Structure 1
Amino acid sequence: MSLQIRLAQLADLDLLVPLFDGYRQFYRQPSNPALARDFLSERMARHESEILLALDDTGSSLGFTQLYPLFSSARAVRIYLLNDLFVANSARRQGVGQALLIAAADHARHLGAASLSLSTAHDNLPAQALYESLGWKRDTEFREYGLVL
């Protein structure tokens, strides 16, 4: 399979929305393409994220990853949160996720980032194996907490 990964533009929303909606469903959210479109278009219009889109040689969308800019105060550097990574069911186990992760690291380096971070579900073992195969390290120093507002 031929694979192209590029930075997504607003014109790519029709390709991104089904993937983003599928991503949300994977995390037990109800399907809502209109919400997906609004959310993505707002992030892109405000330059609040970087979305990398994987396409096959026919221009069909295979997967995406979304990076959000952050900063580490302690290290005084820019970092990116790899918040979303999703590969269409039809494209799984074909190297798309791996290619997106490599492209995300290259893109973040190009933007001057010192590191990438991500979190995944405890039971998402296939994703964890992929991350670790590419050199990602599980954090053993810090615990992550959240507060629902």
Structure 2
Amino acid sequence: MNYKIKKASLEDLDETAVLFNLYRIFYRQESDVEKGKAFLKERFLNSESDIFLAIADGKAVGFVQLYKLFHYTKLQKQWLLSDLFVHPDFRGKGLSIALIDRSKQWCEETDACGLMLETEKTNDIGNSLYPRTGFEYDGMHNYYHWWK
């Protein structure tokens, strides 16, 4: 399968929003393309994340979204691999690995120390994929959330 990975821009908002909606549905959220589109548009306009798209058959079929963080021991920029999704019709073709590899390349291009991510314990696909792409499980830390 022929594909390319490209850095998304505001021009790609509609295609990205459709994929983002499917990603949110995967995580048991209500479908809301317009709200997701507004969320992504704000990220683009404020340069708050970087998104890479997998393009196959002339359309966006997957994406990865990265947010900038800073690592306290490395004293460097780090990227949070926040969202990774490939349309079910295009899974098993190496696109997730290609998007992760592009994220690693982005670390090199932006002088970042690396990537971090979290995924649900029940995400069998991700929990199998990430170690195969060089991510190490961090069993030493507990992650907590506070929501208002």
Which category describes the TM-score, using the shorter chain as reference length? Answer: over 0.9
How many Å separate the matches in 1 of 2:97 and 2:126? 10
> What per-residue deviation string (whole Å, max 9, x for no partner) do you get for residues 17-52 of structure 1?
110000111111100010111000100110000000
> What per-residue deviation string (whole Å, max 9, x for no partner) do you get for residues 35-86 of structure 1?
1110001001100000001101x32111000000010133211001000000
Correspondence for 1:51: 51
CA drift at 1:143: 1.1
How many Å separate the matches in 2 of 1:135 and 1:72? 19
Give SS of 2:92's match.
Answer: coil
Give the 4+ runs in structure 1 shifted more than 2 A: none
How many Å separate the matches in 2 of 1:147 and 1:64? 27
- Return 5+ residue gaps in structure 2 as ranges: none
CA drift at 1:146: 0.8
Give SS of 1:114's match.
Answer: coil
Aligned-partner residue type, residue 24 of structure 2: R
Correspondence for 1:124: 123
How many Å separate the matches in 2 of 1:14 and 1:117? 27
Which residues of 2 match residues 91-130 of structure 1 at below 5 A?
91-130=90-129
How many Å separate the matches in 1 of 2:84 and 2:133? 15
How many Å separate the matches in 2 of 1:88 and 1:126? 13
Aligned-partner residue type, residue 137 of structure 1: E
Give SS of 1:67's match.
Answer: strand
Which residues of 2 match residues 9-24 of structure 1 at below 5 A?
9-24=9-24
Correspondence for 2:132: 133
Identity %: 36
Give SS of 1:80's match.
Answer: strand
Query: Is the Cα–Cα contact under 8 Å of residues 67 and 81 in structure 2 kept in the other structure?
Result: yes
Taking structure 2 as the reference length, what is the TM-score of the superposition? 0.97
CA drift at 1:128: 1.2
Aligned-partner residue type, residue 139 of structure 2: T
Q: How many residues align?
A: 148
How many Å separate the matches in 1 of 2:121 and 2:44? 29
Taking structure 1 as the reference length, what is the TM-score of the superposition? 0.96
CA RMSD of aligned residues (A): 0.9
Give SS of 1:130's match.
Answer: helix
